[in-house]
Amino acid sequence: MLDPTLRDQMLSAVPSLRAFAISLSGNVDRADDLVQETLLRAIANIESFQPGTNMSAWLFTILRNLFRSEYRKRRREVEDTDGSYAESLKSHPEQSSRLEFNEFKVALGKLPPDQREALILVGASGFSYEEAAAICECAVGTIKSRVNRARNRLADLLAIEGADDFGPDHATRAILAAGGRG
Amino acid sequence: MLTEVNQRKARGRLGRDVQSKIGQQLRAMYDNVVNEGVPDRFNEMLRQLDEQKGAEETSKPEKGVN
C-alpha cells in the first residue's frame, strides 16, 4: 500500500500539476488525464522516489515525459490552434482586464513548447532554474535562455512598450473598461 | 554616446516593468487553476488504488520475482 505520507505529498502536488498540465496541453480534460496517468506511473514506480527529495519536482518530471511522448504521438493527428489553446484557459472574469488576460494566453500559446514550459516552471510553478533544468533534463543555462527568449517573445507578441501599455489595442480596452465595470 | 546610454537605460527600466507585468499575468493564470484545489477524481482514484492494492496484498502475500 502507498505510504500515507507519500500519498499526501502526491495529493498536495495535484493542483500545481494540473496548472502545469493545462499550460502544456492547453486542454483541461487532457490535462486531468495527464495528471491521472502521472499519479499512476508515480505509484507504480514509487520505489524509485527517494524520500526526502522533492516529490513535486519528481511528479513534474513524470508528467512532462508523459506529455512529451503523447505530444509526439498526437501532433500528427491534432494540430492545436492558437484559438483553442486560449479558449481552454479562459474563465475567471475577476481580472483587471479580461481582454488583456486573453491576449496574454493567446500569446503564451504561440510560444514554442520548450520556452513555454521553461517560463511556466520558473515563472509560475516557483521552481528554481536548477530544479527546472532537472525536470526538463537539460542544462541550467538552457533553461535560463529559454526563459529569457520566452519573456522577450511574449513582450513582442503583446507589443508591450511599458507597464501601462499592455496589449496592442488601447481603444478597445478603454471601451471595455468604461462599459464593462459597474 | 549620451543618447545611446539613455536609450539603454530607458530600455532597462522598461524591461523590468514588462517583466513584472508578464510575471503577474503568468502567475494569475496559473494560480486560477491551482486555486481549484484537488478535484474529487484524484482523491477517489488514490482511495480506490489503496483498497485494490490492500486486497491484492492480502490475497497474494508474496510478490512475484522477475
Contacts of A123 in chain B (CB under 8 A): 22-23, 26-27
Cell numbers given for A20: 502545469
Using CB atoms, which residue from A15, A40, A123 is nearest to B38?
Answer: A15
As to burial, measured by CB atoms within 10 angstroms (0-12 exposed, 13-18 middle, 19+ buried), residue B47 is exposed
Chain-chain contact of B33 with A15 (C-beta, under 8 angstroms): yes
Angle between helices A140-157 and A98-109 (to 10 degrees): 130
**Residue B41 corresponds to which cell in the numbers above?**
477524481
Task: Name which of A39, A120, A161 is nearest B42 (Cβ-Cβ).
Answer: A39
- What is the ipTM score, two decimals? 0.72
C-alpha span between A56 and A11 (Å, rounded): 10
A38 touches chain B (CB under 8 A): no
Contact A177, A166 (CB under 8 A): no
Mind listing the pLDDT tens digit for each residue in B12-52? Answer: 555 778 888 899 999 999 999 999 999 999 999 988 888 87
Mean pLDDT value of segment A112-121: 94
Q: How many helices (H) and strands (E) does chain B have?
A: 2, 0
Contact list in A for residue B35 (CB cut-off 8 A) is: 15
Residues A38-70: tens digit of each pLDDT: 999 999 999 999 988 999 999 999 999 999 888
> pTM here?
0.73
Q: Do A11 and B29 touch (CB under 8 A)?
A: no
- Say which DSSP state B35 is in: T
pLDDT confidence tier of residue A106, bands split at 50, 70 and 90? confident
Which of B20, B33, B54 lies at the smallest CB-CB distance from A18?
Answer: B33
| Cβ proximity of A108 and A23 under 8 Å | yes
Residue A2 forms contact with B (CB below 8 Å): yes
Q: pLDDT tens digits for A125-178?
A: 999 999 999 999 999 999 999 999 999 999 988 875 444 444 444 555 555 555
Q: Which of these, B5, B25, B27, B29, lies nearest to A163 by C-alpha position?
A: B25
Q: What angle do CA B35, B39, B43 make, to 5 degrees?
A: 125
Cβ contact A137:A161 at 8 Å: no
Distance in angstroms (rounded) separating the CA atoms of residues A55 and A59: 6
So what's the pLDDT on residue A168?
44
